[in-house]
Amino acid sequence: MSTYIILSRFLPDAVEDAKTFMSVEARVSERLRNECPNVKWKARYATFGRFDMVDIVECADPAEVARATMIIRTLGKAVTETMQASEWSTFVQHV
């Protein structure tokens, strides 16, 4: 199982108000559950900086992570950057 970090930045027209935002989030979450069942969400953070959201997920299939990212992009109206990550202790063992 690999770990991935999905960084998302909302497009300017993504959020009109809080109610709209929550309905979009609900639609995105439902579609992710239905279409990407093997992507396991480990954490989700709202951030103040270059990105609005940081999701940490695990999945054995990179294609399914790519599918999840496309759902976030299209339904969530976001620009994303996804990267595979490894725990520091694992990384340094292979250096």
Structural domains in the chain plus CATH codes: 2-93 (3.30.70.1060)
In the numeric block, which tokens belong to residue 82? 């996804």
Q: How far is CA 14 from CA 3, 25, 62, 71, 86, in A?
A: 27, 11, 26, 14, 31
**pLDDT on residue 33:** 95
How high is the mean pLDDT in each 10-residue block of the chain (95 residues)? 96 78 87 96 94 96 97 93 94 86
